[in-house]
Amino acid sequence: MFLRNGVSFLVIIFLMRLLEPEAFGIIALLAIFISIASLFIDGGLSKALIQKQEVSHTDESSIFFLNLILGLLVALCLCGIAPWIAAFYDEPILREVTYAMALGLFINAFGSIHISLLTKNLNFKIIAKVGMVASILSGLIALVAAMAGLGIWSLVLQTLSASLLTVVMLWFLHPWRPKCVFSLQSIRTFFGFSGYLMLSGFVNRIYGNVFVMMIGYAHSIQDVGFYNQARKFQELPVRSLTGIISRIAFPTFSSFNHDKAMLVKGLRKALALAVFMSVPLTIILLLLPKAIILTLVGEKWLQAVPVLQMLSFATLLTPVQMLNINMLKALGRADLTFWLMLTKFILGVTVLWFILPYGIVMIAVAYSLLALINVFINAHYTKELLGYSIWQQFGDISPYVLAGIPMVLIILSIKNVFDFPAQIELLASVITGGIGYLYVCWRAKLGALETLLKVARKNDS
């Protein structure tokens, strides 16, 4: 997974050097429509398949064929509104790009059950292998297309090729095949959980993309590109790290959702691991945004520097949000997940409405402040259902935050004492600051580091 996400990150860097911010801005404008469309295709049924303990082949096949039907219908609907999307943003090219992305959604529907079954069985090796190969090959296709001058279409080709390669490899590596059966009764047994999950996912995906959509409406496409790519720089590392833990956490929590003591123990360990990894990322993004932008993507992206710096505060809060939501899903309380998402959405849109005229930097500030508020919102029911409050969670993760203080001092010393070029400043700060952070964690015998070392030793043996 680290290799896969590392490849994805490198591809983004090279594409940002080859393409203009406007190309990324146009793709970002479609994100909300693509995200919502993909949710309707699955409808939360795949996650319900993971959460439910006893599942038959008939259940699996019924969900598979329903996903295909919904995939076709949603793709056609997306094609139907493509002219409206292009007219809304006054970007004619959005129509053809929407057609292409709709095809990718339909392709993805063929692999959703395979991923769900692999996740349910905790078989992440196949998922990682498939993702890694798809990332590498689709990234190479995008880079060749970008160097050939295809512009925005290189990003489209990357998405389509990744979808096709993923589905082909899943079918090749996983033995599951559908049988010719479709049972409405099977679908109904899953819909109580998946219905609320779909609604909460619907609200969450609108909330996740509404900032970009409104920037595109009120500001320039270039501003969309700067904001969205800064957010990707902020999200990709921490979501890559915490996403691994989160992906494992949901099926694992689901497997012993009858034992509250074990759930709290699992959540505490998952939080410690996620925050241990996100603390140094937060510090690097907060203190070295200019060095990061200049080193990786060049001067034409300098307007993204203050946005990235403001978004960095959300990096530390992301794992806490994700894991509390996974806990509710594992407990089968998708209804609570929906109401939490709806509360966050209403609050977020209200804040965005007032802050929108003040530019993308202030929007980034609002995004980080909302992330802090959302931590308290997400953790409310964790306390109600498990007796594990947000203050207890903060107490468990605070040693890792405190362990980051020496890293902050080391990086600030390098920045203030030496006049290094951006590349040297970034390299020296990451290496020396990272060593200082790991040393403090080791001396303090923090559990997350010891857990990772045990895993490493086990894999070596």
| Spans of all domains in the chain | 1-218, 220-461
Helices (H) and strands (E) in the chain — how many of each?
19, 0
Contact 85, 30 (CB under 8 A): yes
Tell me which of 77 and 42 has the higher pLDDT: 77
pLDDT in the model for residue 273:
84
Q: How far is CA 347 from CA 205, 307, 341, 371, 379, in A?
A: 15, 21, 10, 11, 16
Q: What is the pLDDT of residues 103-144, one digit of tens each?
A: 998 998 898 888 877 877 767 788 888 888 898 899 999 999
Q: pLDDT tier at 254 (50, 70, 90 boundaries)?
A: low
Distance from C-alpha of 268 to C-alpha of 270, rounded to nearest angstrom: 5
| Banded pLDDT at 190 (limits 50, 70, 90) | low
Residue 404, CA atoms < 13 Å, CB-side half-sphere: 18
Measured distance between the N- and C-terminal CA atoms of the chain, rounded to whole angstroms: 20
Q: What pLDDT is stored for residue 124 in this prediction? A: 73
Looking at per-residue pLDDT, the higher value among 198 and 146 belongs to 146
Exposed, middle or buried by CB within 10 Å (0-12, 13-18, 19+), for 103?
middle
Question: What's the alpha-carbon Rg for the chain, to the nearest Å?
Answer: 22
Tokens of 199: 């609604």
pLDDT tens-digit series, residues 331-380: 767 677 778 778 888 888 888 888 888 889 999 999 899 888 888 888 88
Q: Is 298 helix (H, G, I), strand (E, B) or coil?
A: coil
453 vs 116: which has the higher pLDDT: 116
Instruction: Look at 52-66, 251-265, 422-436 and tell me which has the smallest mean pLDDT.
Output: 251-265
Per-residue pLDDT tens digits for 383-406: 888 888 889 889 988 999 999 999
Tokens 């594990």 — which residue?
388
* Count of CB atoms situated within 10 Å of the CB of 395: 10
Of the ranges 13-27, 108-122, 143-157, which one carries the lowest mean pLDDT score? 108-122
Spatial separation of the C-alpha atoms in residues 177 and 186, rounded to whole Å: 17
pLDDT tens per residue across span 85-109 = 888 888 889 899 999 999 998 998 8
* pLDDT, position 1: 64
- In the predicted structure, residue 156 carries a pLDDT above the cut 90: yes
Of 311, 231, 242, 232, the residue nearest 275 (C-alpha): 242
Per the structure block, which two tokens stand in for 435? 């060593």
